[in-house]
Homo-oligomer: A and B are copies of this chain.
Amino acid sequence: MKSLLRLAAACACVSIAAHASAADLGAVNRINDQAFNHSQVLQTAAHLTDGIGGRLTNSPAMRKAEAWTQGKFREWGLAHVHTEGFEFGRGWWIENSRVRMTAPRPIELRAIPVAWTPATNGPLAAPVIVAPMSRERDFAEWRGKLAGKIVLVTWPGPPKDATEPAFKRQTGEELTQNSAYRQPAHDPDELDRYLENRGFAAKLDAFLKAEGALAWGRMSYREGGLVHGAGYLHQVGATAALPGVEIAAEDYRRLARLAKLGPVTLEIDSKVHFDDSDTRAYNVFAEIPGRDPKAGYVMAGAHLDSWVAADGATDNAAGSAVVMEAARILKTLGVKPKRTIRFALWSGEEQGLLGSAAYVDRHLARRPPHSDPAKRAWTLPVVTQSTYPVTPLPGFKDMAGYFNLDNGSGKIRGVYTEGNMAAAPVLKEWLAPYATLGATTVSARPTGGTDHVYMARLGLPAYQFIQDGLDYSSTTHHSNVDTYDHLRPEDLKQASAVMAWMLLQAADADAPLPSNVLPTEPVPADPFAYPDPSKR
C-alpha cells in the first residue's frame, strides 16, 4: 500500500489539462489526408499476407518479414531501425502436407501439420483409433491399445449450430456492455493450469511414443472445414517424437463415425522442416526521435508473427500494417514531437507474448525467478510469472505510453485503459476528433491476450484499442482463411489515422499519461471462494 500512496501523492499536482497536447487539431486533418487519400496500409498488408504469407516465429517467412519491415521503415526515413533478439527455439515450416483416408474409401481430408511436430518422411499409412485424451489420467484407458496406430486424440463432440452472425460490428449499446469495468479476479492456480495445459502436449507425445503409436490427429475447434495448427513445442530439445495433424471437424468426425463401423486407414504425408540456423527471435523497432532526450518515449506495437494455416492477415498483419502506416504518416508529416515515438513489431506473440515479454525484461522491469524450479525452467520469460517484488529498470520511467493493436482488421472504437482510470479522461479528450469515425469509447476494463499485458501489469500506461470484431473470433483468428480478403480497407485506414494521432498526442503532451501503481503483491483471492472442482 505504501507505494500506492506515494504514487498517488506524486500525481496529485497534475490536472487533466496538463495532458492536453501541444499537437494542434490541424494535425488531425493532415494525418487523415495521408491515412485516407495517400494510404499505403493496403500495400503493406498485402505484402505481409499475399507476398510473404504465414509468419511463424523464427520461420524463413518470419525472417523475410523482419527484413522487409525494416527495409520499409528505412525507406520511409524512420530512425534507429533495428531488431532485438531473444532466445526462442527452433524454426519450422511446412513445405507441403497431405492427409487422406485410404480405407474404407479414398478421400482427401482438410488438415494441417501441428506446428513444430516432426515430418513423416514420406506417406505414413496406418489404421486409426479414436482415443480421446485431454489429461494424463486419460492415458490409462488406452494403454496397450495404440501400437502401430494413428491416434485420434480429440473427443468427436457434436457440431455447433452457427446461430450468431459470423461478422459483427459493435453497436453503441454493445460497446458500452463489452467495455464495462470488471476487476480481474486473482486466480492463484492460473499459472499451474497454464503450465499443465502447455505441458500436456509433451506428455501426450511421450505416452504415444512409448505405446508405439505412429502419429496423432486432433479435431479442429471450428466447423466449416477450418483448421489452425497451433503447437508449442518449439524449444530446442523439446521437439515431439510423433507427427501430429489437425483435421477439419467435418473430416475428423467422419473418421470417428466410420471407425465405429469398421477399420479406417489414414495416410499422413507431412513434409515439414526445422531450421536451427538461429534460435533467437527478433522484435523489430523503428523511431521518430523526440526533441527532448529526457522526456522518454511513447510506443505503438503489434505482433508481426502469425500461425501458418493461412497468411496471418487479421492476426496480425492488420495491426502490423497499421503500426507501420502510423509511422509512415507521422514521418511524412515531418512531426518533431517532444518525446520519441517508437514503433514495435513483436515476434513470438503467438507462443505466449514472448517478444513483448522480452522487451519488458530487457528495458522495463525484472521479477524474481519463481520459487518452484519446475516453473522457473519453463519456456516463458520470468516476467510473465507474476512473482514479487518487481524491480523497475532504469528505462521504466521513460515509457510514457503504449498502444497495442491486435484484434483483427476492425476499426478502432476506443481504448481500454487496463484499470487505469486516471488515464481515461485524457484518452477520451485525445480521441475526440475521431468520435465521428466511431472511436468513442474509453473503458477502464483490463484485457489480456496480447502484447500490452506485461507492461500494463507493471502499472505502466500500456493500452490496447477497442475494435469492431468483424469475423475475427468466429472465423479468421488462427485459421486457414486468415487471408487479406478478410481485411476491411476502410477500417485499416481509420485505425492508421487514430493510431498516428494518439501517438502524436501522447508524444507531445506536456505531462506523460498517468501511470497506475506498481504492484507489490498479488491481489488477494476472494476470501469466501472454494476452489472450483471442475478446474482441478
Contact = CB atoms under 8 A, between A and B. Distances in A.
Contacts of A57: none
A283 to B, nearest CB: 24
B105 A51 contact: yes
A226 B223 contact: no
A161 interface: yes
B225 A159 contact: no
Interface in A468-493: 470-471, 474-475, 480-481, 483-486
B162 A484 contact: no
Contact of A310 (B96, B166, B167, B250): B250
Contacts of A480: 225
A523 interface: no
A524 interface: no
A474 B162 CA distance: 10
B226 A485 contact: no
Contact of A159 (B249, B253, B485): B485
A-side interface size class: 35 or more
Interface in A299-347: 310-311
Nearest to A474: B162
A494 B225 CA distance: 28
Contacts of A164: 165
A46 B224 contact: no
A255 to B, nearest CB: 9
Contacts of A166: 162, 166
Contact of A483 (B108, B254, B470, B486): B254
Interface string A223-261: 111100000000000000000000001110110011001
Protomer copies: 2
Interface string A443-486: 00000000000000000000000000011001100001101111
A475 B95 CA distance: 30
B168 A163 contact: yes
Contacts of A389: none
In the complex, which of the residues A223, A226, A311, A484 has the most CB atoms of chain B within 10 Å of its own CB atom? A223
A163 B107 CA distance: 33
Interface in A157-210: 159, 161-168
Interface in A43-97: 46, 50-53, 95-96
A470 B160 CA distance: 11
A46 B258 CA distance: 9
A470 B161 CA distance: 8
A105 B483 CA distance: 15
Interface string A256-268: 0110010000000
A293 interface: no
B96 A51 contact: no
A104 interface: yes
Contacts of A253: 483-485
A59 to B, nearest CB: 13
B50 A258 contact: yes
A169 to B, nearest CB: 8
Nearest to A471: B162
A159 B46 contact: no
A168 to B, nearest CB: 7
A481 B250 contact: yes
Contact of A50 (B226, B257, B471, B475): B257
Contacts of A46: 257
A168 B163 CA distance: 6
Nearest to A488: B161
Nearest to A156: B485
Contact of A53 (B96, B105, B163, B471): B105
Contacts of A159: 485-486
A130 to B, nearest CB: 14
Nearest to A262: B51
Nearest to A254: B50
Given A50-B258, A168-B163, A254-B484, A225 B226 contact: yes
12 contacts: A51-B104, A51-B261, A159-B485, A161-B471, A162-B167, A163-B168, A250-B310, A253-B483, A253-B484, A253-B485, A254-B485, A257-B484
Given A161-B167, A225-B226, A251-B483, 18 more contacts: A50-B257, A51-B104, A51-B261, A159-B486, A161-B470, A162-B471, A163-B167, A164-B165, A166-B166, A224-B224, A224-B226, A225-B225, A253-B483, A253-B485, A254-B311, A254-B484, A254-B485, A257-B484
The 4 closest A-B pairs by CB, nearest first: A162-B166, A162-B167, A250-B483, A161-B167
